[in-house]
Amino acid sequence: MKLTDFKALTFDCYGTLIDWETGILSGLQPLVEKADIEPSRDQILGIFAQNESAQEVETPATPYSQLLSIVYKRIARTWGVAVTNEEANSFGASIPDWPEFSDSVSALQYLKKHYKLVILSNVDRISFRASNTRLQVVFDAVYTAQDVESYKPSPRNFEYMLRRLKEDFALEKSDVLHTAQSLFHDHVPANRLGLASAWIDRRHAEAGWGATKRPPGTPTYDFRFDSMAALVEAHQKELLA
């Protein structure tokens, strides 16, 4: 299997193209300062992961910015901190402030010349607009949790994406390489649907699972890269081979 075998790259956005852990940590900092504890970076990301995933299961039709506000209140309760609606909503509205990874823009601009580029993200459409501006590329399609009314790792999101890709672009599953950081949200369901995947292991230098839950079992993937830049380099080498 080669990167050049595919016609479309479908991307998780947050954690893969946008540095959501930096954004999450910054957005939760006011809550950390209120709490009478000194959690580590990994503890903050871990409690976010547990509460975010639980809320996505409980309220799958809630748009992501609103869901983040609820997650903020859940974490506050866990830490015994009183917060206002305004504080929680500020966290929910922080997605546009989450920075892109340094290699995302150049990688996407290169890949746009060779593939259809598609987003499959646990986000709402309004929040994604600001992230899309940061990424400086026109995606061929954007499929969000808001469109599907469920959150990854639900197979519904992937089934929706594959159906739309076939209807709108005549792309078969074998034409698609799903490209993502999260083993939990993306590679586990990709495995179950027989969808080829590339792991962008943004956390390769860090222990633990960061802002995602531990994946069940042992997910597999067809390619692994430390960064989007490394994926681009591998693609360029294939073209020269």
Catalytic residue positions? 12
Q: Do residues 191 and 179 make contact, with C-beta atoms less than 8 angstroms apart?
A: no
Question: What is the Cβ-side half-sphere exposure of residue 19, based on CA atoms within 13 angstroms?
Answer: 14
Sign of CA dihedral 228, 229, 230, 232: positive
β-pair partners for 119: 11, 142
Closest CA to 143 of 88, 93, 181, 186: 186
User: Which among 170, 171, 127 has a CA at the least distance from the CA of 145?
Assistant: 127
